[in-house]
């Protein structure tokens, strides 16, 4: 029983300080320019300015859509793929034909891991996910 408790304690404390391991890596280089993903005939271009993309700065998000019809709302949901980071959603405004823009902030994570997931939500449905690297 005591051994079980010891193992539980060690595991709990080690998990507390280590975070989860993972082989995930960015699927596009957001620092080089907008990332583009297509599915069937639909296409989403996702870009962030200024570059390189840094945490704790006011960032300009731009989404361009191709072959999407009746787009009512576009939101960028920012999260970390390995850790719960709460709700950080950037609502985008229509600024041109099939172009949506808005401002948001990516917070700094003291774990040092800079891998973030930006999910593009169109009409309340997640259409595409971009794994990007953010500089701290």
Partner 1 sequence: MFTIKSVYILMFTAGLFGGFGHCLGMCGPIVASYSVALKSKTLTPHVLYNLGRISTYVLLGGMVGMTGSFIGIAGHIQGLQRFIMILSGIMIILMGLGLVGLVPKISFMKNRGLLLFSFIKRINHLSSENLTIGSFYPIGIFLGFIPCGLVYTALIAAARSGMEAENHFLGFFEGIVMMLLFGLGTMPASLLFGKVMSIIGEKMRVRLYRLSSLIMIVMGLIFVIRVM
Query: How far is it, in rounded angstroms, from Cα 2 to Cα 20?
Result: 27
Phi-psi region of 41 (alpha: psi -120 to 50; beta: other; left: phi over 0): alpha
Q: Which of 54, 71, 108, 131 binds partner 1 (CB under 8 A)?
A: 108
Distance CA(2)–CA(13), nearest Å, equals: 16
| Closer Cβ to partner 1, 8 or 33, answer by number | 8
Binding mask 42-81 for partner 1 (x = CB under 8 A): --------------xxx----------------x----x-
86 lines the binding site for partner 1 (CB under 8 A)? yes
Choose the stretch contacting partner 1; rule: CB under 8 A; options: 1-9, 22-30, 32-40, 60-68.
1-9
What element of type H or E holds 6?
A: helix 2-18
Question: CB burial class (10 A; 0-12, 13-18, 19+) of residue 79?
Answer: middle
Nearer to partner 1, 32 or 124 (CB): 124
Task: Tell me if 76 sits within 8 A of 43, measured CB to CB.
Answer: no
Considering the rule CB under 8 A, would residue 41 count as an interface residue with partner 1?
no
107 binds partner 1 (CB under 8 A): yes
Which residues contribute to the site for partner 1 (CB under 8 A)? 2, 5-6, 8-10, 12-17, 19, 56-58, 75, 80, 83-89, 91, 104-105, 107-112
């Amino acid at each position: 029983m005591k051994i079980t408790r010891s193992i539980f304690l060690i595991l709990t404390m080690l998990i507390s300080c280590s975070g989860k391991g993972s082989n995930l890596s960015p699927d596009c280089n957001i620092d080089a320019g907008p990332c583009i993903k297509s599915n069937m005939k639909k296409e989403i271009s996702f870009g962030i300015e200024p570059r390189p993309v840094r945490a704790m700065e006011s960032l300009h998000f731009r989404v361009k859509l191709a072959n999407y019809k009746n787009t009512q709302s576009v939101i960028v949901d920012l999260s970390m793929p390995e850790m719960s980071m709460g709700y950080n959603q950037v609502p985008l405004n229509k600024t041109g034909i099939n172009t949506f823009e808005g401002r948001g902030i990516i917070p700094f994570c003291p774990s040092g891991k800079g891998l973030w997931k930006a999910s593009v939500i169109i009409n309340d449905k997640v259409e595409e996910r971009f794994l990007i690297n953010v500089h701290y």
